[in-house]
Amino acid sequence: MMDICLLGTGGMMPLPYRSLTSLLVRCKGKGYLIDCGEATQISIRRRGWSFHDIDTILITHFHADHISGLPGLLLAMGNAERQEPVLIVGPKGIQHVVHSLLVIAPRLPFPLEVHELDGNEDFTVADMEISAFRLNHSMICYGYSLRLPRAGQFDPEAAKTLGLPVQYWHVLQKGETVTWEDNTYTPDQVMGPPRKGLKVTYATDTRPVDVIAEQAKDADLLICEGMYGEPDGPEKAKDKKHMTMQEAAGLAKKADVPELWLTHFSPSMVNPLEFEEEIKKIFPRTVIPKDRRTVELKFED
């Protein structure tokens, strides 16, 4: 199970009625935050999810609307009595950026581990398989996919045939090896092939690039910027290295993803819903969300 909250849908600057784009994912007691612009901590508080359990913070790039809330968030996490390490991941240079921002939060009650990306990279945090993939923006920027894998189905008949006592079955179910009475038993002897997991793909700020559709191909949800919707949107998007709603819908169609949530709306776009009809003609499963839209992704069957 994966709880997903799009904490904000805005781009460039926080507005009284629209928080900056940021995603909070909860899974098996761990929290994964993507981006942390100014006032992200307020949106987390509004949602009511824990500050304490944010273990991993993934930063797409160093424009202020994606990272300026970091010192305040880390202080809030310290106030929530977090003591365990926090992992921060981002583009090359993030060590310097984090170090600089912490001039106003020099003493945190937990250690920070900072990981600098240097190109596309897959890594695992707790149960989560994370892919960072390069986007195309006015500065180095990454999208992220978060994937919770699901083991195959346990076959009790196979376990019985092996003669392994019941009290060892859960070890194999967790994917570990069992040694009993001088015999070694491995998970593949009792587990079916891995089943479909859960996956969310997040891409902002960027021009529409193929990697987004590729990443979203087996995702349950694509969260993608759609900064402009109006007729001169394509020109502005090209100029500022952003994406229109129409372009995002095109990527979602290519990926044939179950659902697309648009985000990172320009402050000049007062009501993104006015483009809903047009965008749904390109990709019917598009959602134009409000801040803090939340979904619980569940395993099939």
* Candidate residues 15, 87, 112, 114; the one interacting with its own copies per rule CB under 8 A: 15
Whole-angstrom Cα distance, residue 226 to residue 212? 13
By CB under 8 A, tell whether 103 contacts its own copies.
yes
CB–CB of 286/280 below 8 Å?
Answer: yes
Half-sphere exposure for 20 (CA within 13 Å, toward CB): 22
Interface residue with its own copies, options 67, 135, 191, 200 (CB under 8 A): 67
90 binds its own copies (CB under 8 A): no
Q: Which is nearer to its own copies, 15 or 125 (CB)?
A: 15
The answer to whether 86 and 110 are in contact (CB under 8 A) is yes
Minimum CB distance to its own copies, residue 129 (Å): 29
Q: Tell whether residue 72 is a contact of its own copies (CB under 8 A).
A: yes
Residue 237 tokens, joined: 């998007």
Does position 75 interact with its own copies (CB under 8 A)? The reply is yes
Beta carbon nearer to its own copies, 15 or 87: 15
Among 8, 11, 14, 289, binds its own copies (CB under 8 A): 14
Confirm if 246 and 225 have CB atoms less than 8 A apart.
no
Q: Which stretch binds its own copies (CB under 8 A): 14-22, 24-32, 203-211, 242-250?
A: 14-22
According to the binding rule CB under 8 A, does residue 126 interact with its own copies? no
> Which residue's structure tokens are 């950026």?
97
The active-site residue out of 35, 55, 65, 220 is 65
Q: Is 22 in the site for its own copies (CB under 8 A)?
A: no
Distance separating alpha carbons of residues 293 and 289, to the nearest angstrom? 6
Active site (annotated) includes residue 65: yes
End-to-end Cα separation, the chain, in angstroms: 12
d(CA 45, CA 22): 13
DSSP 30: E
Half-sphere exposure of 163 (CA within 13 A, CB side): 5
Q: Least distance in Å: CB of 65 to its own copies?
A: 8
User: Hey, which residues between 167 and 196 contact its own copies (CB under 8 A)?
Assistant: none
∠276-8-197 over CA atoms, to 5°?
A: 85
Chosen residue from 29, 79, 161, 192 binding its own copies by CB under 8 A: 79
Residues of this chain that bind its own copies (CB under 8 A): 12-16, 38-39, 41-42, 45-46, 62-65, 67-69, 71-72, 75-76, 79, 96-97, 100-101, 103-105
Positions marked active-site: 65
